[in-house]
């Protein structure tokens, strides 16, 4: 750990994890690593906001003790109980067992459920304040952004919002500030983070941001739990979240498929040609979901106005890679998007019906009954795929 001054008596004391490649178990890909951001506020009273993931607990606490004698920490703030935020709490509290831990009521449930410890919990709710001696921490509950226990806190005087998982991204960087890193990389990780983690809660995201804005608190810096700290034009990411939360879509159609003996792949490519022939401006992307990173695919679905999903029929069902991505899509509850289906078959041909049922359950607006082609597409089958794509370019608008 290196202590890095953020503003006045506020410092970053977290951990950069350059090696991280999978997160939430194996559910989320982190191609660019991540950070676990922990913050130390040293006013008349000293507050520590969040810790780091469990594998780094001993390293974190040892390094923190080199920054400040641990018994000088007056308050521990747990904005979120998930273990990438709270994993070092057991080691920290073993050394300072009587210090109060401030969190939401659901935060107590989460921390007790994971660590089975009865620490000195202090439950806070929106509007509660903690006086640090001149400056105050103001707490704002943020349930389902993205867990029921989540909260923000705001430091008066320095005008810093500690935003927990909101506005973050899995992005390792020694720079640690938004204005110093590669902007394309940063925004790619931001939209991926939102698409894969926060999309199901979009109605709550928009509502909570507007609620925080209504408090009329000046925000000069947003300190996230993962990735960069927003010090340059921090409202930029807030505006992006409001945009993403409002049934976001670009002029893009994404085709998802898997294939056994190339028939469905051939269909996908000629459907894409048909779409493009009717609309030169639309961005068409194809993904064989058995060969693609699922979180990158989900990000493209999030950006799309419509998707086209294909699978051959196997054992009167669909291929497992397609079934898997459809399960992900269902849980994310994308809104305001359209969909169509296709697939090749040799005997029974149920795949398009099954695909449609999955997408209807995920609240996509279905376009037509889909396209089935028998065996490997011949010239007639290829023509059907091309014409199917031509029609979809308008229907998926």
Residues marked as catalytic? 24, 80, 82, 84, 146, 165, 193, 226
Q: What count of other Cβ atoms lies within 10 Å of the Cβ of residue 122?
A: 15
* 361 CB-contact burial (10 Å; exposed 0-12 / middle 13-18 / buried 19+): exposed
The answer to whether the CB of 152 falls within 8 A of the CB of 163 is yes
Beta bridge partners of 365: 338
Tokens of 372: 């089935």
H or E stretch covering 28: strand 28-29
- Pick from 241, 227, 225: nearest CA to 80: 225
User: Crossing angle of helices 202-214/235-244, nearest 10°?
Assistant: 140
Is the preceding omega at residue 104 within 30 degrees of 0, hence cis? Answer: no
Q: What is the DSSP letter of 241?
A: H
Is the preceding omega at residue 146 within 30 degrees of 0, hence cis? Answer: yes
Beta bridge partners of 343: 372
Tokens of 389: 């794509």
- Pick from 248, 268, 277: nearest CA to 355: 268
β-bridge pairing 151-155 and 160-164: antiparallel
> Left (φ > 0), alpha (ψ -120 to 50) or beta: where does 37 sit?
beta
The answer to whether the CB of 120 falls within 8 A of the CB of 108 is no
> Left (φ > 0), alpha (ψ -120 to 50) or beta: where does 24 sit?
left
What are the percentages of helix, strand and coil residues in the chain, rounded to 5?
35, 25, 40
Q: What count of other Cβ atoms lies within 10 Å of the Cβ of residue 380?
A: 10
The span from the CA of 37 to the CA of 180, in Å, is 17
């Amino acid at each position: 750990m290196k202590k890095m001054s953020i503003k006045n008596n506020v410092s970053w004391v977290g951990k950069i994890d350059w090696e991280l490649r999978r997160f939430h178990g194996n559910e989320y890909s982190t191609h660019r690593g991540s950070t676990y951001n922990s913050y130390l506020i040293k006013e008349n009273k000293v507050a520590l906001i969040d810790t780091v993931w469990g594998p780094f607990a001993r390293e974190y606490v040892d390094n923190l003790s080199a920054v400040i004698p641990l018994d000088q920490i007056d308050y521990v703030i747990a904005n979120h109980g998930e273990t990438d935020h709270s994993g070092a709490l057991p080691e920290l509290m073993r050394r300072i067992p009587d210090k109060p831990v401030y969190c939401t009521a659901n935060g107590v449930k989460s921390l007790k459920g994971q660590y089975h410890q009865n620490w000195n919990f202090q439950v806070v709710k929106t509007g509660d304040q903690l006086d640090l001696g001149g400056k105050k921490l103001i707490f704002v509950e943020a349930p389902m952004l993205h867990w029921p226990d989540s909260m923000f806190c705001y430091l008066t005087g320095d005008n810093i919002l500690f935003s927990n998982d909101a506005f973050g991204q899995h992005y390792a960087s020694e720079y640690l500030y938004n204005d110093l890193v590669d902007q394309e990389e940063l925004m790619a990780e931001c939209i991926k983070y939102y698409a894969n983690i926060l999309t199901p809660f979009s109605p709550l995201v928009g509502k909570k941001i507007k609620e925080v804005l209504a408090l009329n608190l000046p925000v000069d810096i947003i300190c996230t739990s993962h990735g960069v700290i927003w010090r340059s034009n921090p409202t930029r990411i807030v505006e992006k979240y409001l945009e993403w939360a409002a049934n976001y879509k670009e002029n893009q159609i994404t085709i998802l498929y898997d294939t056994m003996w190339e028939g469905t792949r051939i269909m996908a490519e000629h459907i894409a040609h048909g779409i493009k022939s009717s609309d030169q401006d639309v961005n068409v992307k194809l993904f064989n979901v058995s060969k693609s990173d699922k979180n990158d695919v989900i990000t493209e679905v999030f950006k799309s106005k419509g998707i086209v999903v294909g699978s051959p029929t196997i054992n009167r069902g669909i291929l497992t890679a397609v079934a898997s991505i459809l399960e992900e899509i269902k849980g994310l509850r994308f809104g305001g998007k359209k969909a169509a289906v296709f697939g090749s078959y040799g005997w029974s041909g149920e795949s398009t019906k099954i695909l449609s049922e999955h997408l209807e359950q995920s609240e996509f607006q279905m376009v037509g009954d889909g396209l089935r082609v028998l065996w490997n597409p011949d010239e007639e089958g290829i023509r059907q795929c091309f014409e199917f794509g031509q029609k979809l370019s308008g229907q998926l608008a």
